[in-house]
Structure 1
């Protein structure tokens, strides 16, 4: 499918796109930065890994044999929490989103309308009061403390570089960038 975009005096931007796993990975990473729960979970994971590494490092510093069990647990935690979990979550979100095929989105002064084969939804700016910009996407985020909802607008959905700036300008005018 070809990605297209149109702008009308900078007040309306149309996007057409297929969501990718990378879109979802970037969106979920942006959401995690905005979510209090995700930040607390990340801190807990870092503390847990540090604890297991520390349990191995203390004996090593004393010239003793380190506890290999703690080192193995730390390694497994690192792989699961920082590599596999984000990848698997993005994969699952992409699987759900890709069932709906191609997406069309319109951004204007009243909000964002997104449609696909599964239906359409309209978000006014109060439903998505924040957004984050990643290298490839604009990610609209809900205002609740856990940032339970997100909408992904891939920049590749527009063809002309000026259209990305028009979209950014609309978002900046109506909602807060994180």
Structure 2
């Protein structure tokens, strides 16, 4: 019980925010960089596109007309994988998150508490042992190779501009930055 009293009066930063699609897009992009599975999937897709393009370049070397169907398929793969899929995923995550309304979060030396109309959750630092910082967010990630869980803390949710540095300092002190 004493420990809770110490934490309540210790250093902490509070955030108030409504998650946006852009928050989710940045968070999912950061998660994809941290996820081994996502990196492998992008690598395999790029190898496949390179094989399609390379295979259709052979006729060009022989002075023949290129196979436009192959180029179209390669282009569709690139657009769907690197443009459409991230946009759709961010849209879906935002739709789910926005159902619970505005969030109130507290970051302290013990972890992060997030409260909204749907309930509250408390993450200690072992549940989110690493984080990524984007232009507008801090993204807390689980420790597994696929970064299966994430918590998004938009920087605009702090009360003062100095609080962004305070959040960063708390995170740097407790968990690993990617």
TM-score by length of 1: 0.93
* Structure 2 counterparts to residues 74-89 of structure 1, below 5 A: 74-89=74-89
Further displaced range: 96-105 or 155-164: 155-164
* Structure 2 counterparts to residues 21-170 of structure 1, below 5 A: 21-170=21-170
Shift of 1:78: 1.1
For the Cα contact (< 8 Å) 2:137–2:152, is it kept in 1?
yes
The aligned residue for residue 174 of structure 1 is: 174
CA distance in 1, matches of 2:177, 2:25: 19
Superposed CA offset, 1:90-145 (max 9, x none): 00000000000000100000000001000000000000000000000000000011
CA distance in 2, matches of 1:139, 1:10: 23
Superposed CA offset, 1:30-78 (max 9, x none): 0011110000001011111111111222211222111111111101101
Give the paired residue count. Answer: 171
Is it true that 1:13 corresponds to 2:18 in the alignment? no
CA distance in 2, matches of 1:10, 1:22: 32
Shift of 1:146: 1.0
TM-score by length of 2: 0.93
CA distance in 2, matches of 1:18, 1:56: 48
Aligned to 1:19, the other structure's residue is in SS state coil
Further displaced range: 134-143 or 76-85: 76-85
CA distance in 2, matches of 1:106, 1:93: 22
CA distance in 2, matches of 1:131, 1:62: 51
Aligned to 2:106, the other structure's residue is in SS state strand
CA distance in 2, matches of 1:162, 1:75: 45
Give the unaligned 5+ runs of structure 1: 1-7
The runs of 4+ residues in structure 1 deviating greater than 4 Å are none
